[in-house]
Amino acid sequence: MSVKVALDAFGSDRAPAIEIEGAVKVCEENDDIEILLVGDKRLIEETLGPKKCRGKKLFIVDAPQRVTMHDKPSVVLRKKPESSIAVGLKLVGDGQADAFVSAGNTGAVMAYSLKILGRLEGVKRPGIAALVPTLGGGFTIVIDVGANIQTKPEHMLQYALMAKVFMEFILNVRDPRIGLLSIGEEESKGNQLIKEARELLEANPHLNFIGHVEGNNVLEGVADVIVTDGFTGNVVLKFGEGAINVFMKLIRDEVKKSILASIAGLILKPVFKRLKKKLNYEEYGGAPLLGVDGVVIIGHGRSTSLAIKNAILTAVKYLERDINSYIKEELVYAK
């Protein structure tokens, strides 16, 4: 049975070329995935050209309006009803597509997802769950990383429950360890939001809550899920990505400083290559918007074609494992 994914062809910084290249890779490598390229039809046709998979597994859906990264979600909702984000999500809402993938304006994707798809039963606030690589070779989920700036304790409890399901059914981590991001390990540390959220997380018997996690522990893998508010989570995520990029650049610069360093660099080149792959966000493509009544994957604005490809494959995996059904069950069970 074929899976249909609606792809926002005008989301990334280098759209639509990057989206089209990623979509073509998916279609060439998978017989059971159809992709609907949503955006300005004329520009998509010009960029796509006579690709072999066009008209068989790759289709164009016209959406003449484009949402920029500077657009306010409230304005987009009123003035851009024919944007690639709105049209793509309507395809999912109408049953013409099974999932939506976008590397565009996160706020607009969140706003239109709530308007068109709505929340899963029992969910108060959806959250974006970002995968962060850790020292142990696995991943930590940080949730929320930007869906909601203002968060309540009960929202953070639901973030933990939803991310727990994602960890168990997508990453095969049983009984994942749940941590709460704070400014110290002690129970007394943190603002009122953190203190109240901790009480809820501790009191819930369905969570393997391990207590507070500090910022310097995020990449160490001490927790499988790290819960925080959307503002803090977004800052942590972007700082981590920036730090990794600087680290890799420093290594390249140091290798060029002497002959011995260059020789050592050549010897260690396979190691650096594996390290780069492990730390590269492109390998997991995008972050799921957990809690909406549909499958929505949000990617980076600076996504490459590889990131787009993997975001699409993440959406397909999410569908195949029917994560939303398990999230609804988890929320009812935990209640």
Taking CA atoms, 222 is separated from 129, 181, 320, in Å, by: 17, 12, 29
Q: Is 124-288 in CATH node 3.40.718.10? A: yes
- Which pLDDT score, from 0 to 100, does residue 250 have? 80
pLDDT per residue over 250-296, tens digit each?
A: 877 877 777 776 776 677 667 666 666 665 556 667 899 999 999 99
pLDDT per residue over 302-328, tens digit each?
A: 888 999 999 999 999 999 999 999 999
The dihedral formed by the CA atoms of 142, 147, 149 and 155, expressed in degrees to the nearest 10: -70
Q: Is 174 helix (H, G, I), strand (E, B) or coil?
A: coil
- CA–CA dist 241, 226 (Å, integer): 16
Q: Is the peptide bond before 144 cis (omega within 30 degrees of 0)?
A: yes
- Which pLDDT score, from 0 to 100, does residue 196 have? 95
- Which pLDDT score, from 0 to 100, does residue 88 have? 97
Per CATH, 1-123+291-320 and 124-288 having the same topology is answered: yes
- Which pLDDT score, from 0 to 100, does residue 281 have? 56
- The residues, any chain, with a CB within 8 Å of residue 55's CB and separated by 6 or more, are none
Residues of the chain with pLDDT below 50 are none
Map 137-170 to HEC letters: CCEEEEECCCCCCCCCHHHHHHHHHHHHHHHHHH
Q: What backbone torsions phi and psi does residue 131 show, to the nearest 5 degrees? A: -85, 125
Residue length of the chain: 335
Per the listing, tokens 């597994």 go with 57
Q: Which of 298, 273, 274 is nearest to 284 (CA)?
A: 298
- Which pLDDT score, from 0 to 100, does residue 272 have? 60
Q: Half-sphere exposure (CA, 13 Å, Cβ side) for 73?
A: 14
- CA–CA dist 103, 180 (Å, integer): 28
Question: What CATH fold (topology level) applies to the domain 1-123+291-320?
Answer: Isopropylmalate Dehydrogenase (3.40.718)
What does the block give as tokens for 240? 């981590």
| DSSP code, position 335 | -
- State which amino acid sits at residue 267: I
All structural domains of the chain with their residue ranges: 1-123+291-320, 124-288
- Which pLDDT score, from 0 to 100, does residue 265 have? 67
- Which pLDDT score, from 0 to 100, does residue 65 have? 93
- CA–CA dist 208, 202 (Å, integer): 9
- CA–CA dist 294, 131 (Å, integer): 20
- Which pLDDT score, from 0 to 100, does residue 111 have? 94
Per-position DSSP letters for 199-263, written without gaps between them: HHHHH-TTSEEEEEE-GGGGGGTS-SEEE--HHHHHHHHHHHHHHHHHHHHHHHHHHTT-HHHHH
- Which pLDDT score, from 0 to 100, does residue 102 have? 96
- pTM score: 0.89
- CA–CA dist 148, 172 (Å, integer): 27
Q: What backbone torsions phi and psi does residue 61 show, to the nearest 5 degrees? A: -120, 120
- Which pLDDT score, from 0 to 100, does residue 280 have? 58
Continuous segment of H or E residues that includes residue 107 = helix 106-116
